[in-house]
Structure 1
Amino acid sequence: MERAGAATIEEVAARAGVSRSTVSRVLGGGDRVSPQALEAVRHAIAELNYVPNRAARSLASRQTHAVALVVPEDTTRFFGDPFFAAIVTGINARLSRSDHVLNLFIASDDPGDKATSYLTAGNVDGALVVSHHTSDTFVERINQSVPVVFGGRSPRGREDDYYVDVDNVEGGRIATRHLVERGHRRIATIAGPLDMPAGVDRLRGFREVLADAGLAPGPVEDGDFTADGGAAAMRRVLAAGDRPDALFVASDLMARGAIGVLQERGLRVPDDVAIVGFDDSPVATSLPPRLTTVRQPSRDQGEAMTEVLLARLAGLDPPHATILQTELLIRDTA
């Protein structure tokens, strides 16, 4: 016998022979559902003693007309990285055409579940999550309680999660391919954090191109997507010996930090070391030399994330995965 409240929405969908989104539409009032599917879902709910969570109840009853942006980072990184400004601009652009307002939560951790308790207590209709790490377990608790759309692949990589990402693997490929085509053979990388999907995917693209070219990768050092992290990683690359003649750096901020270290050592960019960054944020062109970089459409990503979340809140069935394309912008550093 099923324990009351133990069933999940996925189990209800499996028992009824319908999709998860169909169950969500039934919980939201039964609109746009065939009579046969409606009856099957109701029978499955009764058989499994299913109790809808807060996310389903919010669809079936009232909405707060508020959505949360959850950023599992500290405030220094949030206000210091232009990526977040672009994401928020896109989110606001889409919300301005809706009845929803935005609540911002910056939390590198959630001691005492303060933010989690607020977000899962019916105070918001859904949440957008960006810059998440695999260690951010509180994000998964939010994901289980309210509709969530991730900016980037979700921490657990579940098939039923919703996310909007850029093609980070291809971005790493086009950056590294450009360096290979320019004749560089000792190519190192300063990768992003490897507990984040973006860091893992950009490194994968880098390695794939070097393998295809028959080249051994130079030093691989992890950074933290900050200028200081890029500078520290650049020092480790140089300390490894056999100085590379080119670098793929997984963010523009880290690239700026790396360039500063190279200049301190009397090395010229790109004559001694060529560099390709990633983002095309304002720091790419704020100082000479202007950075050759991979452009990711961060504003578009924010807008697309919001579009998917609003569709979910309306009881629609948007794509689980939306992938945006990157492009190489050639300037002065490679």
Structure 2
Amino acid sequence: MKANIFDVAKKSGLSVVTVSRVLNNAASVRQSNRDKVLKAMEELDYRPNASARSLAKGRTGVIGLTLTTLHDAFLDTVVKEITDCLAEQGYFLALSVAPSFEASHQSLFQHDRVDGVILLSPVEEDAYVRELKQKRIPFVMLDNQHQDPSVTSILVDNFRGGYEATKHLIELGHNKIAHIRGSASFLSSRNRERGFMTAMAESGLEPYCIEDGEFDIASGYEVASRWIEDGRLPTAVFAADDYIAIGVMDACKNAGLKVPVDLSVVGFDDQLLASQLRPYLTTVRQPARALGQTGAELLLGYIDGAPASGESVLLSPELIVRASTAAPRTNHHEQEGDR
């Protein structure tokens, strides 16, 4: 039979109140009594229930998470990792899926409802930060859009990802490389574009063109269709995310063009579709699990009393080379002529 707090009290020869104070790290407990309780816990293999500890400390045992959509495999992986990490510590996750601050904060941001909040890819994040600071609710931001030194944030090194994606295309021999960027309101978009520009400049190349897009299939399809109609297709494109890249590949397929023979394509995120649609997509994998785990661990630390330092954690992405990139067609002809 599993040991309980009364068994620990009996084994240690102390009161249940004293055992409870030890479990809650109360400073008023004498060290000798603390040692007796800890020894009894060890001998009985007693593991205090996290939910019970939360109630004893006046907590809800619930963490709030706000995001704008669930229609994204990357965000889905982050949320799953956060859920698993919190569950291990006896916490439940409450989701608020809303397009704006006004739509989500009234139901979620209350001390008697959550012990802390995770903001995942937030929009209007300044409003969230003001509200949470005013109510003194611990929080962390994941994949946020502004860098605030007073706020703890966990970000992916999108500059590095954009740089490595572009260098991959350059090393294959491409010099007519285009970029379809995401919305400028996202820090990730701006940094991916900056990585693209840096890699091009270091190689003495000018961008073939830079096109405005959104993080969706439609914008990639529209841009690529326009290139094909105008007869000005680049030899390679770095798309700001996988959905844009898939849109580009779909436009090529409908026009009778082949990827990567006629156009090499690189995406970003490593969405589930990237390894399911053919040709498999070369992309930059975001460390979704590390993002979720780091965010959950830092938030739980703040809830348990660690000082909120406003630290910024930068995680590294990984280039995943698949079948959608190859040397440009001219290089193929040259190699065939040399044989």
1:107 aligns with 2:98: yes
- Measured at CA, do residues 107 and 114 of structure 1 come closer, stay the same or move farther in structure 2, by a change above 3 Å? closer
Instruction: Report the counterpart of residue 34 of structure 2 in structure 1.
Output: none
- Measured at CA, do residues 66 and 263 of structure 1 come closer, stay the same or move farther in structure 2, by a change above 3 Å? same
1:141 aligns with 2:162: no
1:297 aligns with 2:293: no
1:234-254 Cα deviation digits (max 9, x unpaired): 335556763211011121122
Alignment of 1:1-334 (within 5 A): 62-71=58-67, 73=68, 78-110=69-101, 113=102, 115-122=104-111, 123-133=113-123, 135-144=124-133, 145=135, 146-152=137-143, 154-238=144-228, 242-317=232-307, 320-334=311-325
1:190-226 Cα deviation digits (max 9, x unpaired): 1122101111111110111001111111222233222
Q: Is the 8 A contact 2:140 2:295 kept in 1?
A: yes
Residue aligned with 1:206, SS? helix
Once the two structures are TM-superposed, the CA of residue 163 in structure 1 deviates from its matched residue by: 1.1
Could you tell me the percent identity over the aligned residues? 32
Q: Is the 8 A contact 2:146 2:187 kept in 1?
A: no
Residue aligned with 2:197, SS? helix
1:8-39 Cα deviation digits (max 9, x unpaired): xxxxxxxxxxxxxxxxxxxxx997xxxxxxxx
Once the two structures are TM-superposed, the CA of residue 117 in structure 1 deviates from its matched residue by: 2.4
Q: Is the 8 A contact 2:154 2:313 kept in 1?
A: yes
Q: Separation in 2 of the partners of 1:253 and 1:306? A: 27
- Measured at CA, do residues 99 and 229 of structure 1 come closer, stay the same or move farther in structure 2, by a change above 3 Å? same
Instruction: Report the counterpart of residue 39 of structure 1 in structure 2.
Output: none
1:288-321 Cα deviation digits (max 9, x unpaired): 1011111111122111111111111111147611
Q: Separation in 1 of the partners of 2:59 and 2:81? A: 22
The number of aligned residues is: 271
Residue aligned with 2:267, SS? strand
Q: Is the 8 A contact 2:282 2:324 kept in 1?
A: yes
Q: Separation in 2 of the partners of 1:222 and 1:308? A: 35
Q: Tell which deviates more after alignment, 324-333 or 154-163.
A: 154-163
Q: Tell which deviates more after alignment, 171-180 or 97-106.
A: 97-106
Once the two structures are TM-superposed, the CA of residue 137 in structure 1 deviates from its matched residue by: 4.9
- Measured at CA, do residues 241 and 220 of structure 1 come closer, stay the same or move farther in structure 2, by a change above 3 Å? farther
Which runs of 4 or more aligned residues in structure 1 lie more than 6 Å from their structure 2 counterparts after TM superposition?
Answer: none
- The one-letter amino acid of 1:131's match is S
Instruction: Report the counterpart of residue 22 of structure 1 in structure 2.
Output: none
- Measured at CA, do residues 190 and 114 of structure 1 come closer, stay the same or move farther in structure 2, by a change above 3 Å? closer
Q: Tell which deviates more after alignment, 159-168 or 231-240.
A: 231-240
Once the two structures are TM-superposed, the CA of residue 156 in structure 1 deviates from its matched residue by: 3.6
- Measured at CA, do residues 140 and 222 of structure 1 come closer, stay the same or move farther in structure 2, by a change above 3 Å? farther
- Report which of the two structures shows the higher radius of gyration computed on alpha carbons: 2
Q: Is the 8 A contact 2:142 2:154 kept in 1?
A: yes
Q: Separation in 2 of the partners of 1:239 and 1:120? A: 50
User: Could you tell me the TM-score, scaled by structure 1's length?
Assistant: 0.75
Q: Is the 8 A contact 1:132 1:196 kept in 2?
A: no
Q: Separation in 2 of the partners of 1:206 and 1:239? A: 25
Q: Separation in 2 of the partners of 1:266 and 1:114? A: 45
User: Could you tell me the TM-score, scaled by structure 2's length?
Assistant: 0.74
Q: Is the 8 A contact 2:66 2:104 kept in 1?
A: no
